[in-house]
Chains A and B, each alone.
Chain A
Amino acid sequence: MKGWDWSSFLEYLVSFYLLEGVWVTIWLTAASLLIGLVCGLIAALLRMSKSPILQMPARLYTWVWRGTPLLVQLIILYTGLPQIGIKLSVVQCSLIGLGVNEGAYLSEIIRAGIMSVDRGQFNAARALGMNYRVMMRRIILPQASRIIVPDLGNRFNGLLKFSSLASVISLEELMRRAQMLTQVKFAVLEIFIVASIYYLALTTIWGVAQAHIEEYFERGYSQKNSRRTKTLARTE
Chain B
Amino acid sequence: MKESAQPIVEAVNVHKYFDDNHVLRGVNLNVTEGEVIVICGPSGSGKSTFLRCLNHLEKIDEGRIRVCSHYVGYAEGKDGRLVELRESEVAKQRLNIGMVFQHFDLFPHLTALDNITVAPIHVLKKNEKEAKDMAYQLLNRVGLAKKADAFPSQLSGGQKQRVAIARALAMNPRLMMFDEPTSALDPEMIGEVLDVMLDLSKQGITMIVVSHEMGFARAAAHRVVFMETGTIIEEASPTEFFDSPKSERLQQFLAKIL
Contacts and interface: CB of A to CB of B under 8 A. Distances in A.
Interface in A64-121: 118, 120-121
Q: Is the interface of A mostly helix, strand, loop or mixed?
A: helix
B151 A128 contact: no
Contacts of A220: 108-111, 151-153
Interface in B94-109: 94-95, 97-99, 101, 103, 105-109
Interface string B76-110: 00000000000110011011011101010111111
Interface stretch (B38-46, B117-125, B194-202, B219-227): B117-125
Interface string A111-152: 000000010110111111111101000110011001000000
Contact of A143 (B97, B101, B108): B108
B8 interface: no
A123 B123 contact: no
B182 interface: no
A134 B123 contact: yes
A126 B103 contact: no
A137 to B, nearest CB: 8
A27 interface: no
Contact of B119 (A123, A128, A146, A223): A128
Contact of A128 (B103, B110, B167): B167
B24 interface: no
Given A139-B107, A220-B153, A124 B171 contact: no
A131 B87 contact: yes
B154 interface: yes
Contact of B101 (A124, A129, A219): A124
B122 A121 contact: no
Contacts of B52: 123
A185 interface: no
B46 to A, nearest CB: 17
A134 B55 contact: no
A113 to B, nearest CB: 13
A123 B122 contact: no
B88 A131 contact: yes
B109 to A, nearest CB: 5
B57 interface: yes
B88 A143 contact: no
B27 interface: no
A221 B153 contact: yes
B138 interface: no
Contacts of A125: 107
Contacts of A129: 91-92, 94-95, 119, 123-124, 171
Interface residues of A, number: 25
B103 A120 contact: yes
Given A131-B91, A138-B118, A121 B107 contact: yes
A127 B168 CA distance: 8
B122 A138 contact: yes
B154 A123 contact: no
B108 A123 contact: no
B103 to A, nearest CB: 6
A2 interface: no
Contacts of B97: 127
Interface in A202-223: 219-223
Contacts of B109: 142-143, 146, 220
Contacts of B110: 220
Contact of B123 (A128, A222, A223): A128
A15 B142 CA distance: 66
Given A127-B97, A127-B99, A143-B109, A132 B88 contact: yes
B105 A123 contact: yes
Contact of B105 (A124, A134, A142, A146): A124
Contacts of A146: 109
Nearest to B97: A127
Given A138-B122, A223-B151, A223-B154, A123 B91 contact: no
29 contacts: A120-B101, A121-B105, A124-B105, A124-B107, A125-B107, A126-B57, A127-B57, A127-B97, A127-B98, A127-B99, A128-B118, A128-B119, A128-B123, A129-B91, A130-B91, A131-B88, A131-B123, A132-B87, A134-B122, A134-B123, A138-B118, A142-B109, A143-B108, A143-B109, A220-B108, A220-B153, A221-B151, A223-B151, A223-B153
Interface of A: 118, 120-121, 123-132, 134, 138-139, 142-143, 146, 219-224
List the 9 closest pairs (A to B, CB-CB), nearest first: A124-B105, A120-B105, A128-B119, A127-B99, A220-B151, A129-B95, A131-B91, A224-B153, A131-B88
